[in-house]
Amino acid sequence: MSDKYLTVTEVADLLGIREENVLRMAQHGVLPQPVTIDGKPHFAEEPILRRREEEDYAVPSAGVYLSAGEDFCYFKVVKATHTVLYKNWPFAAFTLWDGSLHIRPWLTHVVDDVPDHENILLSCEDANVPEVRLEDLPEPTSIVWGYRWVGQHDLADVAVAPTAKH
**pLDDT tens, position by position, 25-34:** 888 777 899 9
pLDDT the model gives residue 41: 96
Helix segments in 19-145, DSSP class H: 19-27, 45-55
Burial 18-40 (b: 16+ CB within 10 A, else e): eeebbbebbeeebbeebeeeeee
pTM above 0.75, yes or no: no
Share of the chain above pLDDT 70, in %: 81
